[in-house]
Amino acid sequence: MSLIDKFKINKKKNYPKNNLRHVAIIMDGNGRWAKNRGKLRIEGHKAGIKPVIKSIKFAILNKIEVLTLFAFSSENKIRPSLEVISLMDLFLNVLNTQIGNLKLNNVRLRIIGDRNFFSKSLRDKINESESLTSKNSGLTLNIAANYGGRWDIIQAIKKIVIKVQLGILNPSNINDKTVSKLLCMSDLPSVDLVIRTGREYRISNFLIWQIAYSELYFADVFWPDFNNHIFKSAIDFFVYRKRRFGGL
């Protein structure tokens, strides 16, 4: 049974609609999109900017509160250095050209991930972009860059160990809330829906803790071909899912 068939069955049962607050997207398939067109991989990444901008607009129009985009994973660093450098340049360029638009549209930008890897100019630009938009009250846009779910959990564990060493946390009191509140995005609504493009059916070390109960939607396109229609299909799929969070 396909996901769409399942969706139809759920719809018939007339479940109450789910409230969609936080969407996270794994933007995959830029390289293959470019290869299919005889282009360099970086051309695929460049073509991926348009659907990024469209998705942000779509999220604003549809009153989604948080949009989290997986732009560069901790593991992407092992790619050829030319591709990594080009991606960093693209990231800097997107920040330079789009920050005004984000500010104008009341978007609060946050970058999640390990920043130590970035050049000083990129780190400075990230800090500047975040503080320029920090007071905005519309969409919160998280860009996951040099981010990995395991890295996120490890940085939380390190903070927990320090608290234990300082005697301000008793190890027997550690529970899932102790960890959750030290992870990236702990102050934001939990992730309701994860969309992945690129014809792969895995999580690839994205938000592994935060998406324990998220709904998953796999779109059969490469990221540069992602559009509002597909975004809408993912939402249609989500709103009638019966979410049980482990209950009955």
Catalytic residue numbers, as ranges: 28, 76
Count CB atoms within 10 A of the CB of residue 166: 8
**Which alpha helices (DSSP H) does the chain contain, by range?**
3-12, 30-36, 41-47, 49-61, 81-104, 120-133, 149-165, 176-180, 228-239
Task: Work out which of 45, 125, 196, 241 binds ligand FPP, going by CB under 6 A.
Answer: 45
Q: Which residues pair with 110 in a beta bridge?
A: 142
Across the chain, which distance is largest between two alpha carbons, in Å? 59
Binding mask 157-196 for ligand FPP (x = CB under 6 A): ----------------------------------------
Output the smallest distance, CB 181 to ligand FPP, in A: 26
Coil vs helix vs strand at 72: strand
Please tell me whether residue 223 binds ligand FPP under the rule CB under 6 A: yes
Q: Which of 198, 211, 217, 226 binds ligand FPP (CB under 6 A)?
A: 198
Q: Shortest approach of ligand FPP to residue 90 CB, angstroms?
A: 5
Residue span binding ligand FPP (CB under 6 A) among the ranges 14-22, 44-52, 123-131, 211-219: 44-52
Least separation in angstroms between CB 155 and ligand FPP = 21
Pick the closest to residue 136 from 94, 103, 180 (CA basis): 103
